């Protein structure tokens, strides 16, 4: 896990290299950017570099072979701590930070970080899944951020600064990680995720739009199959305004056929989300992927209408769906009206994605989203 494994974040690497050489490392950082782009890998490699027992003062590269580097890699180093959301939880429990009720203040991340370093001069804590900090957990963490123990470094990993409390943001240096380019994602898919066909890896990387997690989703045959269903259905149920030529709308009201199709699709979508497993965390993950597919589809349609399909890289399924909706939109209204409608649809999908991140009920989120997609603009 040396720096050569951290793809696409050279500018952030140079930023930290400079900070360490100048001995200006802050006590807390908030790493933000899309999921699945290597923020956690960067944080762990940075921890190895700081705790490496063979590192020279002017070097920023962990040796990967000393006890310090190996223990960080397996999370057993006495001065390194990793906190992540339990698989069966919707949020980071406060107990992870200040201990169980009977041991409150005598265990947990904040307690461990306050103890003097066992080896070297640094104690490092990584809070993964920081988007899922509860209000109680954030407040428990706040005291440590306000009065950091000497030599401590805390790294919070999330997707967007606004998902953190303002008091947390104000006490962290925010580091922005950019989406990975297609070449890097294709390399990761081939090296670590069993995608042997370079053309397929390149396509999945393009559809992943900078996120390894989204690109990996395309490896699942069931997800690819349902995406095709989604691409076949969305152009038909999306409300586009009056369409007298095909009689799809009457008096700006959905007809019975479209209403039935919308309800049927909502049920199919919920069934597919629930098939991810009994754990709600997995269901949320799958629902989020499907909503991103919707965002991608509507955005590509917007680009198709405003800039032309030559600007896009899409597979044939998405190209066909984009063509169908583009045609319906441009026949029913002018270009400006069509783009306004698509922006409205994209914003509604982004709102649904936010609802999922805030743990709004999955069924309510999906049903209301699909209903709104078929009525937006009426």
Residue 315's pLDDT is: 80
| Residue, of 56 and 72, whose pLDDT is higher | 72
Could you say which of 144, 160, 176 is where a domain stops? 176
Mean of the pLDDT values across residues 187-198?
88
In this predicted structure, what is the pLDDT of residue 358? 75
Note the pLDDT of residue 234: 94
Whether residue 354 lies inside any domain: the answer is: yes
112 shares a domain with 12: yes
Q: Is residue 59 within 8 Å of 104, Cβ to Cβ?
A: no
* Coil/strand/helix, residue 341: helix
**Residue where one domain finishes, among candidates 176, 211, 244:** 176
Q: What 3 state SS string does 168-235 have?
A: HHCCCEEEECCCCCHHHHHHHHHHHCCCCCHHHHHHHHHHHCCCHHHHHHCCCHHHHHHHHHHHHHHH
Write the pLDDT tens digit of every residue in 235-262: 999 877 654 444 444 444 555 677 788 8
* pLDDT tier, 280 (very low <50, low <70, confident <90, very high otherwise): confident
> Which structural domain range is residue 304 located in?
220-373
In sequence order, what DSSP letters do the residues of 139-166 get, joined into one string?
A: HHHHHHHHSPPTTEEEEEE-S-GGGS-H
Using the 3D structure, point to which of 160, 176, 192 is the last residue of a domain. 176
What is the per-residue pLDDT across 344-371, written as a single tens digit (0 to 9) for each? Answer: 999 999 999 888 877 788 999 999 999 9
* Cβ 111 vs Cβ 146: under 8 Å: no
Report how far residue 82's alpha carbon sits from residue 316's, in angstroms, rounded to the nearest whole number: 43
From CA 52, how far away is CA 61, in angstroms rounded? 9
Residues 347 and 243 in one domain: yes
User: 182, 186, 174: which is closest to 12 by C-alpha?
Assistant: 174
Mean pLDDT score, 266-285 = 88
| Structure confidence by residue, pLDDT tens digits, 138-174 | 999 998 999 999 989 999 999 889 889 999 999 999 9
Number of separate domains in the chain:
2
Band of residue 309 on the pLDDT scale cut at 50, 70, 90:
low
357 shares a domain with 286:
yes
Residue 212, in any domain of the structure: no
What is the H or E stretch that residue 31 is in? strand 28-32
Q: What confidence score (pLDDT) does residue 191 get? A: 83
Q: Has residue 155 been placed in a domain?
A: yes
Which residues, in sequence order, are CB contacts of 155 under 8 Å at separation 6+?
A: 28, 29, 30, 31, 43, 46, 47, 124, 125, 126, 127
């Amino acid at each position: 896990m040396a720096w050569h494994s951290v793809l696409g974040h050279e500018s952030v690497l140079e930023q930290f290299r400079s900070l360490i050489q100048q001995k200006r490392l802050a006590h807390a950082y908030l790493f933000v950017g899309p999921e699945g782009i290597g923020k956690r890998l960067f944080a762990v490699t940075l921890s190895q570099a700081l705790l490496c027992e063979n590192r020279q003062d002017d070097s920023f590269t962990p040796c990967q072979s000393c006890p310090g580097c190996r223990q960080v890699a397996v999370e057993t180093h006495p001065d390194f701590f990793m906190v992540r959301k339990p698989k069966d939880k919707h949020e980071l429990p406060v107990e992870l930070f200040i201990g169980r009720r009977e041991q409150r203040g005598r265990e947990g991340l904040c307690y461990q970080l306050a103890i003097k370093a066992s080896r070297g001069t640094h104690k490092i804590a990584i809070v993964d899944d920081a988007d899922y900090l509860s209000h109680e957990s954030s407040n428990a963490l706040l005291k440590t951020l306000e009065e950091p123990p000497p030599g401590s470094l805390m790294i919070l990993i999330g997707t967007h600064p606004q998902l953190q409390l303002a008091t947390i943001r104000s006490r962290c240096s925010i580091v922005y990680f950019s989406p990975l380019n297609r070449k890097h994602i294709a390399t990761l898919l081939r090296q670590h995720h069993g995608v042997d066909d370079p053309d397929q890896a390149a396509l999945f990387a393009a559809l992943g739009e900078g996120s390894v997690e989204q690109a990996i989703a395309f490896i699942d045959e069931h997800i690819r199959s349902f995406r095709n269903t989604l691409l076949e259905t969305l152009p038909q149920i999306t409300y586009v305004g009056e369409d007298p030529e095909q009689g799809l709308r009457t008096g700006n009201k959905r007809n019975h056929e479209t209403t039935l199709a919308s309800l049927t699709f909502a049920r199919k979508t919920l069934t597919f989300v629930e098939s991810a497993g009994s754990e709600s965390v997995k269901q949320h993950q799958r629902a989020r992927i499907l909503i991103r597919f919707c965002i991608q589809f509507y955005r590509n349609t917007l680009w198709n209408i405003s800039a032309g399909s030559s600007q896009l890289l899409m597979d044939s399924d998405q190209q066909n769906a984009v063509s169908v909706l583009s045609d319906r939109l441009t026949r029913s209204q002018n270009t400006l009206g069509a783009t306004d409608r698509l922006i409205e649809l994209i914003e509604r999908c982004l709102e649904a994605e936010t609802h999922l991140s805030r743990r709004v009920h999955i069924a309510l989120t999906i049903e209301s989203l699909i209903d709104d997609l078929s009525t937006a603009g009426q």
